[in-house]
Chains A and B, each alone.
Chain A
Amino acid sequence: MEGSNKGVVPLQNGLEITKSQKYYSIQWLWQSQVGISILSLILSLILLLSMSLISGAQPFAVLASLFEGAFKGKHSIVSTIKETAIISLAGLAVLIPIRAGFFNIGGQGQIEIGALTAVIVASNLQGSPAVVITAALIAAMAGGALTVVVPLFLKIKRGASEVTTTIMMNLACIELVSAMITGVLKDPSAFYGTTRVIPEANRLPFFPQDLGVHIGVWITLIIALIAYWVMKRTVFGIYLKAVGSNREAAKASGIFMNQVLGVAVLAGAALAGLAGGIQAMGVTYKVAEGWSKTWGFTGIPVAFLGGNSLGVIPVAFLLAILETGARHMQAMTGVPSALVYVFQGIPVLLFVCLSAMRLLHKKTSGA
C-alpha cells in the first residue's frame, strides 16, 4: 500500500501526499487500539462542544478551560497526577482478580472502607508518624480485603456469580460508610456527615516537598511495577493466567485453584482499600459525604482498556485529565454540571463500542 502511486493529490507548497497514504493514516486510526482511543476522545469532545453550545457557552472557552484545568499551573498538574494514581490503583484492583476469572465490581465499596479504616487508625493511633502512617495504610488494605471475603467465599463454596455479590457488597459498604460518618464517627462540630480531620503529623508526607505530590503516587507506581513483574515473570503469575483462562487444565495440572483465586482477589481488593487510604490520608484528610468520586467503577473500564498492570497508568492518566479538567471547565465557563457526567460516561462507551466494532470487523473479514 505504501509508496504506490494511486492518484497523486497536489497541495499548496508542492507537497504531495498520495491518496493511498491518506487512506493508510485513516485506516490506522480505525485499526489500532490507540487510534480508537483518540477517535473516541475526538467524538466525545464534539458531543461536549455541541452540548455547551446549546447551553450558551463558548465552545472554545470550554475546550480551553478543560485543558487548563488539567494542565495549567502547578496546582492543576499535581491534581491530575494525584487523580491518576488513585484511578490506576482502582484499575489494578479490577485487573488482578479478573486475570483469575473474578470480576471485582466492588471496588468502590472497598475504596470507601479502606479510606475509613485508614482515617480511624491515623486519627487514633499514638506513635511516631512513620509507624502510624504505615499502620494506617496496612489497615486500609486489610479493610478492603475484608470487604471481598464474603463474595469470595460465596463464589468458592456456593458458586455464586461474583457480579451479583460484589455489587451487593459494594452498595452495602457505601451505606455503611455513610452510616458511620453521619453517626458514630461524625465530627461533632461539622453539620454534615464527616469524620474528624486527620492530625497533620499523620498525613501522607509530600515528596518532592514543594510540589504537593504525596508519596501515595510513588507507592502506586511501585505497586504497578511489582504487579507487572509478578504477572509476567513469576510462577504465581503463570498460575494466575492458567486459572483464569482454562480452569480444567489448571486443575488437572495440580495448581491449587482456590488458593490462587483467593490470593488474586484479596490482593485486588487490598489495592482498592489502599487507594482509599491513600486518597484519605494524602488528599482529603478525612472521609466526608461527597468526598469520593466513582473511582471504583472507573477502575473497570481502566482495567479493560489498559490490558495489563502498566497499561492501566496511561488510561488512568487520560481519565484523570477528564476529571480534573471537567470540574474546572464547569467552574470557569458555567456550563451545566450535568455535562461533567456525560463526559465521564461517553468516552468509555464510545471506546468500548468502537473496539468491539473493530473486533467484529476483524472476525468477519477473516483477519
Chain B
Amino acid sequence: MMESWLIDLLLAALRAATPLIFCALGILMAERAGVLHIGVEGVMLAGALAAIMGTVLGANPWAGILSTMAAGIIAGIILAFISVLLPTDQVVIGIAFNLFSLGVTSFIFRILAKQLQVLIPAIPPLLFGLSPFALVAIVITLAMWWFLFRTGPGLKLRSVGENTHAAHASGINVVYLRFAVLIIASVLAAMGGAALTMGWVRNFADNVTLGRGFIALAAVYFGRWNPLLAMGACFIFGVGEALAFRGQATGAGLNPHYFLMVPYILTLLVVGIAGQARGPRDAGKPYLRR
C-alpha cells in the first residue's frame, strides 16, 4: 500500500514537473545568452492555448504540437524584437507581456469557446507509464546539457552571457545569437504550456498556468543555470505540488499555501548558501554596441 502511494506520488510529481522542465530549459538557455526571459509565463499561456486550438481545430494531436511551436515562434519574435533589438529593460517588457498574453489568450479562448470547451483525446503513456511530454522533456534536458557544455556553439552562447562585449569583440554577432536563442527559448516555454494543457488537463481555462512560469524561473536559479540540476529542481518542486494536493485530500490540515511557498524559499536558501558567482554576469542588460 505504501509502495503504490509512493509511485503514485512520484508520477504525480513528474506530471507537475514536466511543464516546469520545458519552461526552465527555455529560461536557462536565454539567460545563458544574457537575456532575462521574464515573459515566460505569457509565452507558456500562449502555447497552452495553441496546443488546445490546434488539437481541436486540426483534429489531430500533431496539429496541436505544430500550432504550439508556431505560437512559441511568434511570441519569441515579438519578445526578441522588443528586448534584443531595442534597448529596453527586459524585466518591464516581460511583465507587460505577461499581462498582454493573459488578456489575449483569454479573449481568443472566449471567442472560440463553443468549439474549445471539450476534453481533447487523452494521449496514452509511452514508456514506464510516462507521458510522451515527460520523455521529451528528459531528452531535451540531456541534449541541452550536452549542447551547452560540450559543444563549440554552446560555449559561444555561454560566453555571450558571461561577457557580452568581449564576445562581440571576438566576432560573435550578439544580436543574431540572442534573437535566435530567444525564439528557441520561447518555443520551449510554449511546449511547457502544451505539456500542461495537452499533456495533463486536456483543456484550457483563463490563466491556466497560474504562475508556473515563475516557479520554473526559481528552478533555473535553484539549479544554478545547469540543465540537469534545473530538471532536478523542477522535479523537487513537482513533489511539493503533489504533496500539497495530497495534503488537502487526506485532510492533513496544513494550509496548502505554505507548500506553495517552498520553491521560492528553497531558492533563496540555495542562493544564500552557495552565492551567485556563477550566474551569467551580463544577464538582463540590453546590449548596445559601443
Contact = CB atoms under 8 A, between A and B. Distances in A.
The answer to whether A and B touch in the complex, with CB atoms under 8 Å apart, is: yes
Interface of A: 51, 54-55, 103, 105, 150, 154, 158-161, 163-165, 167-169, 171-172, 175-176, 178-179, 182-183, 294, 297, 300-301, 304, 336-346, 348-349, 352-353, 355-357, 359-360, 363
Contact of B268 (A55, A154, A182): A154
Contact of B271 (A165, A175, A178, A338): A165
A349 B82 contact: yes
B268 A150 contact: yes
Contact of B279 (A161, A175, A176, A297): A161
Interface of B: 36, 82, 86-89, 91-93, 95-107, 110-111, 206, 211, 214, 217-218, 221, 255, 257-258, 260-261, 264-265, 267-268, 271-272, 275-277, 279, 283-284, 288
A340 B102 CA distance: 10
A356 B103 CA distance: 24
B97 A345 contact: yes
Contacts of A357: 86
A163 B275 CA distance: 14
Contact of B276 (A159, A167, A346): A159
A55 B111 contact: yes
A20 B105 CA distance: 44
Contacts of B288: 363
Contact of A51 (B91, B101, B107): B107
Nearest to B82: A353
Nearest to B275: A158
Contact of B214 (A160, A167, A342): A167
Contacts of A359: 86-87
A319 to B, nearest CB: 12
A182 B36 CA distance: 34
A340 B279 CA distance: 37
21 contacts: A55-B110, A105-B91, A158-B272, A164-B279, A168-B271, A171-B218, A172-B264, A176-B257, A176-B261, A178-B257, A178-B260, A300-B92, A336-B106, A337-B106, A338-B104, A341-B106, A342-B103, A343-B103, A349-B100, A352-B89, A357-B86
Given A167-B214, A179-B261, A356-B87, 7 more contacts: A304-B89, A336-B107, A345-B96, A345-B103, A349-B93, A353-B82, A359-B87
Nearest to B100: A345
A339 B107 contact: yes
Contact of B100 (A105, A294, A304, A342): A342
A336 B105 CA distance: 12
Contacts of A342: 99-100, 103-104, 107
A345 B93 CA distance: 9
B104 A352 contact: no
A172 B276 contact: no
Contacts of A159: 275-277
B99 A345 contact: yes
